[in-house]
Structure 1
Amino acid sequence: MENNFDLQDSFGREHNYLRISITEHCNLRCSYCMPEEGISLTPKSHLMTAEEIIYIAKTFVSYGVTKIRLTGGEPLVRKDAAAIIQELGKLGVDLSITTNGILVPNFITTFKEANIKTINISIDSLVKEKFNKITRRNYFETVFDNIDLLIQEGFKVRLNVVLIKEFNDDEIHDFIKLTKDKNIKIRFIEFMPFSGNQWDKTKLVSYAEIMEIIQSEYAFSEIERLVDAPNDTAKNFKIKSYLGSFAVISSVTNPFCSTCNRIRLTADGKLKNCLFSNSETSLLETLRAGASILPLIQQNLLSKKAVRAGMDDDLKFQNPELFSQNRSMIAIGG
């Protein structure tokens, strides 16, 4: 099977993008990401070692993966994060990372040595009190100082903003104004359902609503629709006179499943073929038993559904009996 192996699912979608969670730990407690009471963390012995992460990553790269993104939890809290980043940087892929930004000053040199060019920062409010409320921590100034540091150091910075109705949807204009003089990209993300994050559709700020809010401030002629990259999850725009840009990721109201090229590896070595999938395939047990993980990878990909893990209509997607069986976002890796 190895000779004919590729990373294609039964719908002909090629998967060249691997997202690897390297830890379930985080130094924040964001409400949309994890339950208020926290989660039961996987015992350390059941988590991938640095060597196992590198081995699995190399396997995927040898069969066509060209992009790897590191996630968590907060990936930079892992003690051997720098070593993992450096080794992955040797694979010749487009390596990037999603972080909350708190620890980035300690990793500037590591990022550059690993040829990381793009860094996503998760941040959901420009108001200190709201930032502290949603993260349940007090790192507001630290994160904003580090965003400026990354820009100064020449990284492409993208701010991931999960919009929640009547919480931060009144800050859409403020986020876009950040792009006037900063060469950053703001990515507005529709609030998605996961275990323990108290999701319901009334909290959703849809793509249509986001654009309506933006158009209430800017004339249609001022908003430029940018060309989306192949397999892009985001619809990209900019205000013509502004330095930076913005985008909307509409996983709920306008899913982009037909061009999905992503596969996810959790910190405990399980493969998820969709962010919303309840089913997972454990690669780690087979790897530690000394057997080939390729049949498991192929099986996992061939079981991938056409749309959102089979939740192909609005009723299914809103059904808590379906989405509550999934892990919380912090345990998936985003």
Structure 2
Amino acid sequence: MPQELVDGYARRVDYLRLSVTDRCNLRCTYCLPSEGFHFLPHEDILRYEELLRLVAIASRLGISKVRVTGGEPLVRKGILEFLGRLCAFSQIRDVSLTTNGVLLESLVEGLWAAGVRRLNVSLDTLQPAKYEAITGVDAFWKVWRGLSAVLDRGFTPVKINVVAIRGVNDDEIEALAELTRSYPFHVRFIELMPFRLEAYEERYLSADVILQRLRAMGALLPARSENGNGPARYYQFPNAPGKIGLISPMSHHFCPSCNRLRITAEGSLRTCLFSDRDVDLRGPLRCGCSDEEIAALILEAVQKKPQRHHANDAPVAHRKCHSRPMTAIGG
């Protein structure tokens, strides 16, 4: 497989977000619809062997970073063994995990033994009652204990992902940012994306507004990103052990430097989060296609990777990206 993953706009693709399940033990208001959503049948989910085969093929094409996502990846049986096998790939230099943190405390040692060192933990509030209102589960302190445990074990960086929602948690922007003065967390504020229609325009809060409020807290210095072309712009309070990140997919999209692919739990390849264009990989995997044939499908998809997303170019009701909840795409 001599070719590498370079798209039609000369962007080198080396990062794969790999969803291992669409199931989640939370039901966040901005992610899962309250009704009408059905999880995939078990037989439609890629088996671990199939996921590992896809990673092996992608790594030979130049993928060197893999982030395991869901749904909630830690709810899938056998996840620790899978992560260990994934971390053993010599061509993959970085394996990380995105989790809601509910099961984190009990799995810290297993994750460390598997070889995972970098974690993203979703936490939209520091108020237990509000956490339950957002997620439908009374689990704030489970998540907080998990965060404390991974810091004690030495995971780094530990990133806290906060979806900023006007009228929901926008009153906690400063409190969440204050965490970085006491802990080495990377607290990252993420703009709400239009995967759900209900009152999106009223709930959206731009990264520019967040940054303005952060600057009012005192001196805020630009900080270096550890991922080069990652999506976050980082800042830091003087002498603070942590960092603050702003991820602005709607107001300041990072498409010119996008280096990622997504494979959903059912084996669909997506070259853009906001596109409805999928390439089926499960079918070829299960009908006996060779590695070379599957690699050709990946290469062709990357060549068609769009120059930028168009999620904010039309009224919300006409945006394609609202047609599937985030848990079905891979967070």
Place the TM-score, normalised by the shorter chain, in its bin.
over 0.9
Counterpart for residue 225 of structure 1: 222
Distance 1:126 1:217 in 2: 18
Counterpart for residue 330 of structure 1: 327
Deviation at 1:241, TM superposition (A): 2.7
Rate the CA distance shift 1:197–1:136 in 2: closer, same or farther, 3 A.
farther
Distance 1:324 1:9 in 2: 22
RMSD between aligned alpha carbons? 1.5
Counterpart for residue 167 of structure 1: 168
SS in structure 2 of the partner of residue 179 of structure 1: helix
1:120 partner letter? N
1:298 partner letter? L
Q: Deviations over 1:98-152 (max 9, x none)?
A: 0011112332233222321111100101111111011011101111111111111
Q: Are residue 203 (structure 1) and residue 203 (structure 2) matched?
A: yes
Counterpart for residue 102 of structure 2: 102
Counterpart for residue 191 of structure 2: 190
2:5 partner letter? L
Counterpart for residue 115 of structure 1: 115
Deviation at 1:295, TM superposition (A): 1.9
Deviation at 1:325, TM superposition (A): 5.4
CA contact (8 A) 1:277 1:326 kept: no
Distance 2:106 2:242 in 1: 26
1:204 partner letter? Y
Deviation at 1:210, TM superposition (A): 0.4
Q: Which is worse superposed, 293-302 or 159-168?
A: 293-302
Q: Deviations over 1:66-108 (max 9, x none)?
A: 1000000100000121121111010132000000111123322
User: 5+ residue gaps in structure 2?
Assistant: none
Deviation at 1:199, TM superposition (A): 5.4
User: 5+ residue gaps in structure 1?
Assistant: none
The runs of at least 4 consecutive aligned structure 1 residues that moved more than 3 Å come to none
Residue 242 of structure 1 is aligned with which of 206, 216, 240? 240
Counterpart for residue 301 of structure 2: 300
SS in structure 2 of the partner of residue 58 of structure 1: helix
Q: Deviations over 1:36-73 (max 9, x none)?
A: 12621111111100100111011111111110000001
CA contact (8 A) 1:89 1:113 kept: no
SS in structure 2 of the partner of residue 293 of structure 1: helix
Report the TM-score when normalising by structure 2: 0.94
Q: Deviations over 1:235-290 (max 9, x none)?
A: 00010132111100000000000000010000001101011011100101001111
Distance 1:170 1:17 in 2: 34
Report the TM-score when normalising by structure 1: 0.93
Deviation at 1:200, TM superposition (A): 2.0
Q: Are residue 28 (structure 1) and residue 26 (structure 2) matched?
A: yes
SS in structure 2 of the partner of residue 248 of structure 1: strand
SS in structure 1 of the partner of residue 97 of structure 2: strand
Q: Which is worse superposed, 171-180 or 200-209?
A: 200-209
CA contact (8 A) 2:18 2:69 kept: yes
Q: Which is worse superposed, 185-194 or 222-231?
A: 222-231
CA contact (8 A) 2:11 2:259 kept: yes
Q: Deviations over 1:194-245 (max 9, x none)?
A: 1x45252221111110011112222xxx211012342110000010132111
Distance 2:137 2:260 in 1: 31
Counterpart for residue 178 of structure 1: 179
Count of matched residue positions in the alignment of Structure 1 and Structure 2: 324
Deviation at 1:323, TM superposition (A): 2.8
CA contact (8 A) 1:86 1:110 kept: no
1:322 partner letter? R
